[in-house]
């Protein structure tokens, strides 16, 4: 693990990331010794820093530190954490604070190949996402809603849980974005109130446009989910996972355009 470019495993107890969850993170797939979708991850990270008023990191420096942390490793996952840095007691941030950079490598997750052909089993979570437009879309460090939601099940056959907001709108998975398929069109939830704007979600939207697949960003009710022809989730590590069963209801995996999945599996691991 690298902390501010040095091999460390500890941060200061006064770090605002520890004290308040005051920071952001990116989870980046590593293929053939290179970070995938690096430009997109950096754009989201820098945009998040701007919205939170955190001094943005130097993306070239981060890249060099990622390569240093990888060493001889060719595959895996890099997690980048940027906090506002150490601070005095109290919520008010100090001006001109020095952010903390944390970079950590972990082994590549192993997913059964069959999940891409047969789909996954998912469930609805009881834990709801709260509305906060000021934080909506950000991949910030405050993930307790997701922690509670993921703690709701221990069945290894269930790979993901879908989360709703207080108005019963379906927003996202615990660690993924949601798409529904209906009559040849793709729908993905409006994330202006809550939820994380995913890197892979953005790529799916771009590829859908290239393939002339209509895509609509809108509120998605639970009823919209139940009547959908197909469902799938996405993130930077899994690419696209079709959902074959949600809380006991079956969905058609072949409702998802095969060309979309094929393109994402290729483009999702590029270093663009």
Catalytic annotation present for 210: no
Q: How far apart are the first and last CA of the chain?
A: 25
Which one of the listed residues 12, 27, 31, 43 is annotated catalytic? 27
CA 197 to chain centre: 7
CB 267 within 8 A of CB 234: no
Question: Which of 12, 79, 139, 245 does the annotation list as catalytic?
Answer: 139
Checking DSSP bridges between strand 2-3 and strand 100-106, what pairing results, if any? antiparallel
Told to judge if 172 belongs to the known catalytic residues of this protein, a careful annotator would answer yes
| Burial of residue 79, with CB atoms counted within 10 A of its CB: 0-12 exposed, 13-18 middle, 19 or more buried | middle
Tell me if residue 27 is catalytic: yes
Hey, how many other C-beta atoms are within 10 angstroms of the C-beta on 3? 19
Q: From the candidates 26, 65, 69, 172, give the one annotated as an active-site residue.
A: 172
**How far apart, in whole angstroms, are the C-alpha atoms of residue 20 and residue 3?**
18
Q: Please state, in angstroms and rounded to a whole number, the distance separating the CA atoms of residues 12 and 49.
A: 20
* Buried/exposed code over 231-270 (b: 16+ C-beta within 10 A; e: otherwise): bbbbbbbbbbbbbbbbeeeebebebbbeebbebbeebbbe
Q: Which of 143, 142, 144, 18 is nearest to 87 (CA)?
A: 18
In this structure, the strands spanning 120-129 and 230-235 are unpaired
Return all residues near 125 (Cβ < 8 A) that are at least 6 apart. 149, 152, 161, 162, 163, 164, 174
Active site residues: 27, 139, 172
């Amino acid at each position: 693990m690298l902390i501010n470019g040095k091999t460390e495993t500890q941060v200061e107890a006064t770090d605002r990331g520890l004290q308040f969850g005051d920071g952001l993170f990116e989870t980046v797939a590593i293929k053939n010794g290179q970070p995938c979708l690096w430009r997109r991850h950096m754009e989201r990270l820098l945009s998040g820093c701007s919205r939170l008023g955190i001094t943005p990191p130097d993306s070239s420096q981060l890249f060099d530190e990622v390569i240093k942390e990888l060493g001889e490793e060719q595959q895996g996952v890099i997690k980048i954490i940027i906090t506002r840095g150490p601070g005095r007691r109290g919520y008010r941030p100090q001006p001109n604070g020095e952010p903390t950079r944390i970079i950590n490598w972990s082994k590549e997750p192993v997913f059964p190949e069959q999940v891409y052909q047969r789909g996954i089993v998912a469930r609805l979570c009881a834990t709801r996402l709260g509305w906060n437009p000021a934080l909506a879309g950000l991949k910030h460090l405050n993930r307790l809603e997701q922690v509670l939601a993921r703690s709701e099940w221990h069945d290894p056959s269930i790979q993901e849980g879908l989360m709703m907001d207080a108005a019963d709108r379906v927003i996202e998975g615990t660690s993924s974005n949601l798409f529904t398929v209906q009559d040849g069109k793709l729908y993905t939830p409006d994330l202006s109130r809550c939820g994380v704007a995913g890197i892979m979600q953005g790529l799916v939207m771009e590829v859908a446009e290239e393939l002339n697949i209509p895509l609509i960003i809108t509120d998605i009710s639970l009823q919209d989910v139940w009547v959908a022809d197909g469902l799938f989730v996405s993130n930077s590590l899994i690419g696209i996972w079709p959902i074959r069963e949600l809380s006991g209801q079956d969905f058609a995996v072949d409702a998802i355009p095969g060309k979309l999945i094929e393109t994402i599996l290729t483009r999702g691991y590029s270093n663009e």
